[in-house]
Amino acid sequence: MNSVDAVLFGPTDDTETFLSTYKPSSNRQDILGGWYWVINKEGLKGQDKPAEDVESDGRTTFEREGAELEAELTAECNRIKDEAPVRGNKKQGIKSQKELREIAHEVFNAGVKKLAQKHGVLSGKWLLYPGPEGVDSTWRKVVNALAKADGALAKAGSVHCAKVSTAVQDGGSGGYVICVYCDDSWDKEGVKAAFVALVKDLGLVSQAYKCDANTILGIDSKHPSKIKSSLYGKNDYMTKEEIDAAMAAREANPETASKARAVKSKTLEEEEAEGCGFAPVSDSEDDEPPKKKIKV
């Protein structure tokens, strides 16, 4: 079977043909890499796709040098587990295992940032986990917001590509993952602009942002060091009250409320739990959709 490279390049107003041809819910098995892509080349500097999806000299060097950092982190956390007390003693200046692990995590994160910036492995993604019923509509929002020149993600300036899994391994019974990529994971203003656009303009709330550097190094929620796989969480950029207010504003807006009323109104927590474009509550630090193992 020949593989199809399903990519929509923007800026373009013609998104309907792509969206109707390549629906994630159709679970096509002839799609190259198991992903549908949208890429807006306007203002794009460098490669079309993010670091985790491109083989380059910079990535190869980063992966080799970063593996040493990961090995040091694992060794240090194993040493802490074997030698340090579970509980600390402030009077005696003795740190607990948790405190020592946090120090090791900080050292690792600083090292990864330095290496990533040195070798150009800067991209990362806000993660969304829609279920089978909502994946097409969620992906449609992302595509239109990025491919069209006046789309909210395109105007953010820090987002140039996104992808959605085809879920072919599960036949659609499991979860999907959508990655909305930012050009530079350590450009906090750019990462924030993308998140705010997702929430305020698209009504989508990602629980976590993960840098491609961590994906390349195999840092996930099950890493033995217990390090967080995500670089940022949603509340690093908007409080719960701000997110709720943004959702309420969308409901009050006639242009967005009509679509919202087509389904039963849910609280933020309910939508997160049901996978309506949100990361599951139990997977706020995870980077895999339920039941399906996709490296992101």
Closest CA to 182 of 229, 141, 123, 237: 123
Q: What is the pLDDT of residue 282?
A: 34
Distance from C-alpha of 240 to C-alpha of 21, rounded to nearest angstrom: 37
Q: What is the pLDDT of residue 295?
A: 58
pTM of the model: 0.85
Provide the b/e sequence for 191-217 (b: ≥16 CB within 10 Å). Answer: bbbbbbbbbbbbbbbbbbbbbbbbbbb
Residue 85 contacts by C-beta under 8 Å, 6 or more apart in sequence? 94, 96, 97
Q: Provide the pLDDT confidence category of residue 135 given band limits of 50, 70 and 90.
A: very high
Distance from C-alpha of 211 to C-alpha of 186, rounded to nearest angstrom: 9
Q: Provide the pLDDT confidence category of residue 273 given band limits of 50, 70 and 90.
A: very low
pLDDT at residue 227 tops 90: yes
Q: What is the pLDDT of residue 167?
A: 64
Q: What is the pLDDT of residue 202?
A: 97
Structural tokens at position 14? 């013609």
Q: What is the pLDDT of residue 279?
A: 41
Q: What structural domains does the chain harbor?
A: 7-50+121-283 (3.30.760.10)
pLDDT at residue 174 tops 80: no
Mean pLDDT of the chain: 86
At 221, which amino acid appears? S
Cα atoms in the 13 Å half-sphere on the side-chain side of 125: 27
Percent of the chain at pLDDT > 70 equals 83
Mean pLDDT of 57-70: 97
Q: What is the pLDDT of residue 102?
A: 97
Residue 72 contacts by C-beta under 8 Å, 6 or more apart in sequence? 108
Closest CA to 86 of 75, 78, 76, 96: 96
pLDDT at residue 101 tops 60: yes
For the chain, the first-to-last Cα distance in angstroms comes to: 25
